[in-house]
Amino acid sequence: MEKDFLSRQYLESMSTVDLITLADDYGIDIPDNLNRRFIIGELLETAEELKNKQSDNNDVQTTDEDSPVPDFLPESYNTTEICAILRNPVWAYVYWDVKALQKKKLVSDPDFKSLFLHVSFFDRPLSKKQDDTFDIDIKETTGEQYILVSSKKRFMQVELVCLFDGRSPEILACTKQIEIPAENETVQDSQPGKKMDIQPLVKLSGMKCLLHDHYLNHRQSFSD
């Protein structure tokens, strides 16, 4: 086994099934439904113990059958989860995964219709009262989506939902509420020809020139 064979990067690139198989090869007993992060932790701890036992070097023992780190990450880690990351205050990147057996069961259900993302916005953190919502239809084969964030929203949450015919939708996974950075009110309310009282720090950013160039190149955006 090469020096970095059991690095965290390599283990993260493996599917959950392969992690369990590798743990079995090292004699690690993995309970049912154990989170893949704990499996990786157990493998890294075992690798460290094996390194300490080597008298000649710090490498974990290897065989000719060991595989190198793959060039591409697997399409699925066989977990059901969804995460949302803000690219900026306007766009959010959402990615998700569904366990293979769970997905097969859902798709084979005669009442199955489709999957969709339910996007909710809130005025306050941990609030249950939704300020605004909308849905995005997604394909069964996709696992990522960019979402345009509604203007002047404070907190955002996304649910991965399965839609059925004749019965209630099923929430498969949900992100935590993420805070959306507040935009500068002066910039947000800017309009062509409107006098702007730009703060000194905003002036240093070159914002006035950016707004001017935006109007020249995208003036159709202001037509409404």
Same domain (yes/no): 86, 175: yes
User: Which domain range does residue 202 map to?
Assistant: 185-222
Helices 16-25 and 36-53 pack at an angle, to 10 degrees, of 30
Same domain (yes/no): 115, 174: yes
Count the domains in the chain.
Answer: 3
pLDDT at 210: 73
**Measured CA distances, 82 to 137, 158, 159 (Å):** 15, 8, 7
pLDDT at 194: 66
Same domain (yes/no): 113, 46: no
pLDDT at 165: 93
pTM confidence score: 0.54
pLDDT at 185: 65
Same domain (yes/no): 40, 97: no
Same domain (yes/no): 85, 142: yes
**Measured CA distances, 47 to 63, 77, 96 (Å):** 15, 22, 30
Of 163, 179, 195, the last residue of a domain is 179
Alpha helices for 13-99 (secondary structure H): 16-25, 36-53
CATH at 109: 2.60.40.10
pLDDT at 112: 94
pLDDT at 224: 46
pLDDT at 131: 86
Question: What would the pLDDT profile of 172-185 be if each residue is shown by its tens digit?
Answer: 999 999 998 876 66
Same domain (yes/no): 133, 211: no
pLDDT at 13: 81
Of 22, 51, 75, the last residue of a domain is 75
Q: Give the integer Cα–Cα distance in Å for 40 and 8.
A: 7
Strand 144-148 with 91-97, pairing: antiparallel
State which residues of the chain have pLDDT below 50.
1-4, 55-56, 58, 220-224
Same domain (yes/no): 112, 199: no
pLDDT at 128: 82
pLDDT at 28: 81
Q: Give the integer Cα–Cα distance in Å for 20 and 36.
A: 9
Same domain (yes/no): 160, 93: yes
Same domain (yes/no): 175, 194: no
- The token pair at 100 is 């293979």
Question: What would the pLDDT profile of 50-59 be if each residue is shown by its tens digit?
Answer: 777 764 454 5
Q: Which of 175, 127, 185, 122 is nearest to 153 (CA)?
A: 122
